[in-house]
Structure 1
Amino acid sequence: MLIIMCGLPATGKTTLARALARQTGAVHLRIDTIEQAIVRSGLGQHPLGPVGYIVGYALAEEHLRQGLTVIAESVNPLALTRDAWRDVAVRAGVAAAEIEVVCSDPAEHKRRASQRTVDIPGLPLPTWADITDRAYEPWHRDHHVIDTAGRGIADCLADIHHAIGLPRRPRA
């Protein structure tokens, strides 16, 4: 299965994607990691445009063809990129689940944005103004929305499992 996890910065995408990957044994594919690796290589600078996503699509398809579940995590602000992720699932012959992570409380969202720390060396974090000014196209098809405002990780993960019917990895 391809789990497409998206939403604005500081909504909790990375936290949820990492926890979901640990629970399920899925591959967590983070576009920020790919983009920053390209910048560190000297082959580009922020903003990179589509290159990080294009690399991400190729890696996701490779992992899916190996029979692995992939959690593709990115802002994914455009219908074009959302469609491209779904095309990856079609080419790999797997189901796709689209999850939009939101934080419906603007004060909490702003606090999260201001208190974030960099976990990828050199990655520039967006300011609150960058987040609120960012182009983010509305969704025009059914998808799952997980609101992290005032909620713990465990509750959000339970909602994801319920929404997409994803099994947990058996404990060893």
Structure 2
Amino acid sequence: MARNWHATQKGSWNEVYAGKVLASLENDVFPTLGSTAIADIRAPAGDAALNFAMSAWHLHDWLWADLSEDSNGVDDLSAALDGGIKTKADFIRAIYRRCPAVRVCRVIATAGKHVKVDTFPEPSLRTRMEHKHDHRRRWQIDLKGVSTPASTVFKEAFRFWEDLLSQLAIIEDPGFQRERRGW
């Protein structure tokens, strides 16, 4: 399939670029995927975790954009987060106070996109892969000397957003969903 795609695209590319794309496929993609069917290709867990962190962080942007257009939206948001929210910066500070896990997601999302965090860095935050005796790996997040599995941090961020969106009547009561997930 990839070779067919390349054949259909190379007419619109110069010869050098077409060669680089094919070489990249042969060196980087084919050895990894081999003859794996397209339906069986799955993103590595690290990609899913990064995607979650980006979504958990950027949810504040999407929510602010929607609520700031509603005449009562910011007031409702402020009430749900114990008051004092007038600006997006106030909203971010309220998120940080309520849910440090979302702050961790911000750092992961920013570093995942920009390689490092220059604006509002978190020097006490480190991520690492812990290798277990059963040959499994677990992503750990170390914040201010406390080590926590990344899955725990992500669940905390998820619960924060689930609760807030429920308070704002954007989603239904999250309790039922948690029972189904066993959280």
Q: TM-score range by the shorter chain?
A: under 0.3
Which structure has the greater CA radius of gyration? 2
* Bigger share in strand: 1
TM-score (norm 1): 0.24
Question: Which is bigger in relative contact order (C-alpha 8 A, separation at least 6)?
Answer: 1
* Bigger share in helix: 2
